[in-house]
Amino acid sequence: MDIIDVLKADYARFPSDQTYDIYAPDVYFQDPLNSFRGIDRYRQMIGFIEQWFQEPHLELHEIQQSGQQITTRWTLSWITPLPWRPRITIPGWSELTLNDQNLIVRHVDYWHCSRLAVVWQHFFPRNLERSPH
């Protein structure tokens, strides 16, 4: 199994039918809102996105591997289930670390925007150029 091909396929169908067996059981995950350890917590987080976000989409722009490190650049978007249905967009990147068994042991997501800018999009969706960074 080529992990790059698996990741590309997972991004294309995110958050549905993710390939969890490419992660170590004690994988460390971090993003600007969460940090935890364990594949079960990772599954729960993906399940939350699938259940509560409308039309989630994860567009993969670039993926590179150098030894045991994989870097992806992406844009995550979804519609928040509020009456005015704002589409939220977060550009970012992930740094993944593989162990000797070629399993992901560390998955850290970074955003090219602040948490405040994401909140701002919920209330001022047409004025993104004025959002705080």
**Mean local confidence (pLDDT), 63-87:** 96
Cα separation, 48 vs 22, in Å, equals: 20
3-126 CATH, one of 3.10.450.50, 3.40.50.1820, 2.120.10.30, 3.40.190.10: 3.10.450.50
Which residue would you say has higher pLDDT here, 132 or 96? Answer: 96
Which residue would you say has higher pLDDT here, 127 or 26? Answer: 26
Share of the chain above pLDDT 90, in %: 91
Output the pTM of the full model: 0.89
Enumerate residues 6+ apart whose C-beta is below 8 A from 47.
15
